[in-house]
């Protein structure tokens, strides 16, 4: 059973398809959209159980009750994929506090909140696997991408600390560190770039990497897997 956030499109939707094909039942979180409903309808003929929850992870007060409502349907995840995220392009000196807080909430704090809600169930089950989707921007400074770089660097540190704390409970934590991926993120109103998206990774390859991490035997863990376009960093 896998829970995937940001599941309505991009890497999240690709992961939902690949995990379903590999035999996983799914709990899918995303903002309300026809895409989320359509994805659930698409996956149900595969014979997997698919439960969806429309949830805006930028609203911190909505996360605990939203996840509780989803898990109350009788499915308990053993794999958690924290994929939801956003980016913002522009100098740090000009970024509004509201935009900063929104980005940090979605890219970092929501992951913390989701993990807090789900950890008791994972511990009770004797273990599980949390996979956080990060970026090579966690390790490199890119002008006009400062807030995004900072959020992903903090996510990488969060993943390491969580792994150290939860190891005794049989809970493994992995980070998937990605170079540029061709997803709808590049079409969002907060991102302005002229990168050649044809040279980027595609969402399906990123989703395959997530499945690879999830399918590691319980006796081992890939702590961080880095996947980059052959063209390198953009």
Residue with tokens 């993943």: 159
212 is known as an active-site residue = no
Distances (CA, A) of 52 to 41, 197, 218: 10, 30, 27
Residue 145's Cβ-count burial label (10 Å; 0-12, 13-18, 19+) is: buried
Interatomic CA distance for residues 45 and 96, integer angstroms: 45
Q: CB-based contacts of 15: which residues, under 8 Å, 6+ apart?
A: 4, 7, 81, 83, 206, 207, 210, 211
Taking alpha carbons only, the member of 209, 119, 111, 97 closest to residue 155 is 111
Q: At what angle do helices 110-124 and 146-166 cross, to 10 degrees?
A: 20
Residue 124's Cβ-count burial label (10 Å; 0-12, 13-18, 19+) is: exposed
Residue 48's Cβ-count burial label (10 Å; 0-12, 13-18, 19+) is: middle
The one-character DSSP state at 139 is S
Which residues are known catalytic residues?
Answer: 148
């Amino acid at each position: 059973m896998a829970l995937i956030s940001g599941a309505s499109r991009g890497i999240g939707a690709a992961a939902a398809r690949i995990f379903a094909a590999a035999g996983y039942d799914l709990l899918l979180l995303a903002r309300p959209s026809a895409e989320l409903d359509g994805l659930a309808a698409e996956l149900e003929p595969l014979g997997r159980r698919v439960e969806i929850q429309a949830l805006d992870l930028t609203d911190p007060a909505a996360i605990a009750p939203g996840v509780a409502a989803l898990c109350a349907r009788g499915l308990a995840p053993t794999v958690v994929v924290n994929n939801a995220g956003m980016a913002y392009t522009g100098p740090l000196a000009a970024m509004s506090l509201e935009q900063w807080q929104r980005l940090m909430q979605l890219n970092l704090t929501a992951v913390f909140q989701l993990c807090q809600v789900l950890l008791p169930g994972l511990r009770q089950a004797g273990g599980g696997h949390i996979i956080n989707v990060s970026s090579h921007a966690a390790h490199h400074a890119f002008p006009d991408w400062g807030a995004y770089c900072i959020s992903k660097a903090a996510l990488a540190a969060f993943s390491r600390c969580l792994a150290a704390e939860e190891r005794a409970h049989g809970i493994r934590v992995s980070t998937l560190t990605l170079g540029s991926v061709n997803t709808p993120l590049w079409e969002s109103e907060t991102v302005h770039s002229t990168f050649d998206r044809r040279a980027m990774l595609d969402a399906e390859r990123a989703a395959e990497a997530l499945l690879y991490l999830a399918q590691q035997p319980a006796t081992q863990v890939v702590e961080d897997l880095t996947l980059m376009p052959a063209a390198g960093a953009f």
